[in-house]
Amino acid sequence: MSQTYAPLIQAVDISVRRQNLLVLQNVSLDIHPGQIITLIGPNGAGKTTLLHALLGLLPISSGQVLRQPGLRIGYVPQHMPRDERIPLTVDRFLRLAGTHSDAERHAALQRVGVAALRQRFMAGLSGGEMQRVLMARALLRKPQLLALDEPAQGVDVSGQRALYALIRELRDELNCAVLLVSHDLHLVMAATDEVLCLNGHVCCRGRPDAVSQHPEYLRLFGHELDELAVYIHHHDHEHALDGSILESQRHD
């Protein structure tokens, strides 16, 4: 890991208040080039708030966020309202990312598997398609930091696996840092360098294998982990279209 470089973003002891309620308390975090950092935590834990604070989308009440001057950020928000009022094709939307050639725009869409959507209108995209288009746009900017807020929501398990594999590949291709917000645990744990487990404050942090053994983490997610274990068991095999189990495709 290239920890020797200066951090892209350095957050020192930041807190965020919303209507006198402390939603984020004393969080410090450095994001280094090439690093994949995942923010996990239950609903309302302040994951998106921390992401927004790091990107400068909302004011912090105390502490300090230092971003490298001219830092290129590719941001994929959690929600993108489908807006019927603006006639906007995917291609026109990509052209707002800067001056890129036709081929570059095609390649970016191709990279995330949605090249066919190029002439479609943004308002007609499904949630998953919108997510991919937003990713393509982020890629086009050759970001130093790719920030993804819950990219896997509404994606099925095999789709999620592919998505996290894609994120790792993109990190290697672009040599960018990746900041992920997620509340699904199992898959994201495998695809990340550092995990920050949040619940208003930082409960625990570190490499995924260490965090997954941490008592604070188990206290927050233990219940879900039990459910997940059952879940994994059921997906240990593939079904044929008629629902029968395909013996030849058993993983273990």
Partner 1 sequence: MIESLPFFHDFIWRALLGGLGVALIAGPLGSFVVWRRMAYFGETLAHAGLLGVGLGLFLHIAPMLSVAGIAIAMAVLLRLLEKRGDLASDTILGILAHSTLAMGLIVVSFMEAARVDLFAYLFGDILALSNVDLIYIAVADLIILGMLLWIWPKLLLVTISPDIARAEGIHVERVILIYTLLLAVTVAIAMKLVGVLLITSLLIIPAAAARRLASSPEQMAVIAIALGGLSVVGGLAGSWFWDTPTGPSIVVAALALFILTLVTPARR
Instruction: Give the footprint of partner 1 on this chain (CB under 8 A).
Output: 52, 55-57, 70, 73, 75, 77, 80, 83-89, 92-93, 96, 121, 123-124, 134, 141, 147
Q: Count how many residues are written for the chain.
A: 252
- Least CB distance to partner 1 at residue 98 (A): 9
- Number of Cβ within a 10 Å radius of residue 129: 17
Closer residue to partner 1, CB minimum distance, 84 or 102: 84
- Least CB distance to partner 1 at residue 85 (A): 5
Q: Are 160 and 152 in contact (CB under 8 A)?
A: yes
Q: Are 52 and 73 in contact (CB under 8 A)?
A: no
- Least CB distance to partner 1 at residue 16 (A): 14
- Number of Cβ within a 10 Å radius of residue 11: 20
Closer residue to partner 1, CB minimum distance, 26 or 61: 61
H helical segments located in 35-185: 47-55, 90-95, 102-111, 127-140, 157-174
- Least CB distance to partner 1 at residue 144 (A): 12
The separation between the first and the last C-alpha atoms of the chain, rounded to the nearest angstrom, is: 32
- Least CB distance to partner 1 at residue 118 (A): 14
Closer residue to partner 1, CB minimum distance, 85 or 233: 85
Residue linked to tokens 């598997």 = 113
- Least CB distance to partner 1 at residue 19 (A): 9
State how far the alpha carbon of 219 is from the alpha carbons of 96, 123, 204, 215, 224, in Å: 45, 41, 11, 6, 10
Closer residue to partner 1, CB minimum distance, 56 or 159: 56
- Least CB distance to partner 1 at residue 142 (A): 12
Q: Are 82 and 122 in contact (CB under 8 A)?
A: yes
Closer residue to partner 1, CB minimum distance, 70 or 243: 70
| Two structure tokens written together for 36 | 């994949």
Closer residue to partner 1, CB minimum distance, 16 or 203: 16
Closer residue to partner 1, CB minimum distance, 118 or 205: 118
Nearest to 28 by CA among 175, 217, 219, 194: 194
